[in-house]
Amino acid sequence: MQITSIVAIYFLFWVMSAFVMLPFGVRTADEEGIAKVPGQAESAPVNFRPKKILVRATLFSTVLTTLFVLNFEYGWVGVDDINVFPDRPTIADQAAN
């Protein structure tokens, strides 16, 4: 696998994990017992920490990318392993019977 492919896959995993981790650990003003500013949305976070999310997303995407590249190199899980649909008979198979 080329390094440019690995970087692209890492970037995709990073963006996906950053968006997935956004709602975790965030509390609203009602949950914290803090008075809301007039016009503030009910769901607005009080303790938003983007640096913490960036670090978590970086670590998580590093692990995912490492597992992906190792699976690509060693072939632990392939397409045949995740085939959830059983082989269906084709029209030619049905006509032969």
- In degrees, rounded to 5, the angle at the alpha carbon of residue 57 between the alpha carbons of residues 49 and 2 is 150
Q: Which two tokens stand for residue 43?
A: 């769901």
User: Residue 91 and residue 21: Cα distance in Å, rounded?
Assistant: 47
* pLDDT tens for the chain, residues 1 to 97: 899 999 999 999 999 999 999 988 889 888 888 888 899 898 888 888 899 999 999 999 999 999 999 999 998 998 878 877 777 766 766 676 6
The answer for residues whose C-beta is within 8 angstroms of residue 71's C-beta and 6 or more apart is 77
**pTM value?**
0.74
**What's the CA gap between 28 and 31, in Å, rounded?**
5
